[in-house]
Amino acid sequence: MQQQVYQHTLPNGLTILGEPMPWLESVAFTLMFPGGTAREPHDRIGLAGMTLEMTQRGSGRWSSREVVEELDFLGVDRSSSVSSFYTSISMSAMARVLDTTFEVAAAMVREPHFPEDELEEVRQSALLELSSIEDDPAQKCFVELKRSRFAEPFGRSSLGSVSGIEAVSHEDCVAFHQAHAKPQGAVLSIAGRFDWQDFLKLVDRYLGSWSGGPATDLGDVEPRIGSIHIPHDSQQTHIALAYDSVAYQHPEYYRGRGIVGILSDGMSSRLFTEVREKRGLVYAISASSHSLKNCGSVLCYAGTTSGRAQETLDVTMETIRSISQGIESGELSRLKSRTRTSLVMEQESSASRSSQLAYDWITLGRTTTRQEVLSEIEQLTSENLIEHFQKHPPKRWTLVTIGPEPLEFQDEV
């Protein structure tokens, strides 16, 4: 479990993190800067995603088509996304092509061409992507759950809204990028096979002269409670449910996460056992920890044919509450064993380490080591988990259902 994490801050404020994994042939980096959906003007919802797409249509010495061709030539696996507070660009490739790969990514941030004649194409793509979730009710259920629970501007979907996408102008994209793609508050992480000093030189060459002040604080996130039903002509009713928990930066985060693990990690977890294995109510059921700044939540999903949806919701909520009645030692030991294994396996993927480094930095303001996570997990006991559950019981529930009929839902506890 030996692990070394380098850290350096450029004079312009950009934080650089690096974790060498010299046993790999690959290298992966992640660049995150504060350009999320919560920073969009209220009548331009969808702007962050469209801006990101525009930055990928030509930058630096590459035209729109040349960017794609260059990355294909180098064999780069890439992804980019927008969340509530950040825009993120990730790339992974064989170590020998790091220099040019990084130059492409840096150009997207520093020197995007923003081709005006491609804006309509970007807009049409965004509208199509937005409409495609109508045919994926499970995904739509989560989009609506976040919209409902985290409210404006924090609950916005990166897919945007029809009116927002239709209103976005070329100037909006340029201005949004100029205002938010800045080194202060941004983080660049790298993991895999690389030389730290060489990488710092590379970053200095392409991002050393990047400038810009810090992002404004948008205030705290306050969850909203209640239920929403969206009628849909489907066989299944899709149930998305959220309730309060502790956020990633909370001192007791691992206790909260441990409880979610007992509920949902693995095939012996309580939700899988009670809802699927014993009663055959669902094919898919899950719960996960979700942190949006200060606001920690547990988000759950279950999909079931409509006649059994009420029972599924009731059993799911009952199972969540059953934690207060005790945790078996076997449940705890399985949780620990799964964590140990996944921490070891993390070392097989440069991409997952690089994104974790960046996520830790923007959420905690520091990186965490495997040893630290392991020690947090090893300290969990049935008693301290129950104590945590009593201190932070599931409350302030939010429910979204999509299907033929609404369900009865009592927001209590």
Which residues, numbered 12-71, are part of the site for another protein (CB under 8 A)? Answer: 23-26, 64-65, 68-69
Residue 185, Ramachandran bin (φ over 0: left; ψ between -120 and 50: alpha; else beta): left
Is 171 an interacting residue with respect to another protein (CB under 8 A)?
no
Closest distance of CB 125 from another protein, Å: 4
Closest distance of CB 121 from another protein, Å: 4
Give 108's contacts (C-beta < 8 A, 6+ positions apart).
55, 56, 59, 67, 89
CA-wise closest residue to 4 among 18, 24, 25, 23: 18
Tell me which of 48, 54, 76, 320 binds another protein, using CB under 8 A: 76
Identity of the residue, 73 or 391, whose beta carbon is nearer to another protein in the bound complex: 73
Which residues, numbered 212-241, are part of the site for another protein (CB under 8 A)? Answer: 232-236
Give 12's contacts (C-beta < 8 A, 6+ positions apart).
183, 184, 207, 208, 209, 210, 211, 212
Tell me which of 4, 124, 216, 371 binds another protein, using CB under 8 A: 124
Give 222's contacts (C-beta < 8 A, 6+ positions apart).
151, 295
H/E element holding 278?
Answer: none
The CB density around residue 348, as the number of other CB atoms within 10 Å, is 11
Give 354's contacts (C-beta < 8 A, 6+ positions apart).
19, 28, 29, 30, 90, 92, 189, 190, 191, 192
Identity of the residue, 135 or 217, whose beta carbon is nearer to another protein in the bound complex: 135
Site size for another protein, by CB under 8 A? 72
Identity of the residue, 352 or 363, whose beta carbon is nearer to another protein in the bound complex: 352
Tell me which of 265, 291, 315, 401 binds another protein, using CB under 8 A: 265
Binding mask 268-307 for another protein (x = CB under 8 A): xx--xx--xxxxxxxxx------------------xxx--
Identity of the residue, 16 or 285, whose beta carbon is nearer to another protein in the bound complex: 285
Identity of the residue, 289 or 339, whose beta carbon is nearer to another protein in the bound complex: 339
Is 128 an interacting residue with respect to another protein (CB under 8 A)?
yes
